[in-house]
Structure 1
């Protein structure tokens, strides 16, 4: 089972990958939205801000408002997704990953998968 620190590292790595993205993927990472990732097995929620092609201010402190983009998954799935060992679309289709966002954001985010 992945630890809180491994999940935080995975999110930081995801942020770095987003910063290096190009083309349509780069456009999709340019959203300015609050983002949360609830890690079910650790019972912890990471929250931050997606802006300028990266995740900023990643923290485990609860925020008063619900994030505009919300992910839910296990810690092992988070680590595997970021490492490239788990396909997002397949994990989403199997219910291993949940994504909640506005319809407009979902249209933009589909370019990432």
Structure 2
């Protein structure tokens, strides 16, 4: 089982990957939105912003998100690590229910290129 520190590191790696992306992925990551990522098996939530093509993690709290972020993710720590490391396809994980993504309709349309 992934640790809280490993999950935080994975989010930092994901942010780094987004800064080096180009094309549609870079455009989708250029949103300026609040973001939460609930790690279900650890019952911890990372909150921050998706802005300027990167993820900035601002806080970590025990339990589910306390406030409703504009983009909300939920998954196990192992799934987060596998996605960031390339071992788990986000679109397949989302379609199978392993990963939950909630956002406004317009944001989902822009984020689809990340899938």
Q: Give TM-score, length-normalised by structure 1.
A: 0.95
SS in 2 for 1:21: coil
Q: Is 1:96 paired with 2:98?
A: yes
- 4+ runs deviating over 2 angstroms: 61-65
Residue 67 of structure 1 aligns with which residue? Answer: 69
Distance 1:58 1:80 in 2: 23
Shift of 1:64: 5.6
Question: Is 2:22 the partner of 1:35?
Answer: no
Per-residue CA deviation, residues 29-51 of structure 1 (Å, 9 max, x unaligned), is: 00000000000000000011000
- Where 2:2 maps in the other structure, the secondary structure is coil
- SS of 1:60's equivalent in the other structure is strand
Equivalent-residue separation in structure 2 for 1:73 and 1:80 (angstroms): 11
User: What is the TM-score normalised by the length of structure 2?
Assistant: 0.94
For residues 18 and 28 of structure 2, the distance between their equivalents in structure 1, rounded to whole angstroms, comes to 9
- Distance, in Å, in 2 between the alignment partners of 1:41 and 1:24 is 32
Q: Which runs of 5+ in 1 are unaligned?
A: none
CA RMSD of aligned residues (A): 1.3
Per-residue CA deviations over 1:49-72 (Å, capped at 9, x if unaligned) read 000000114320477631000000
Quote the residue 2:82 is aligned against.
Answer: 80
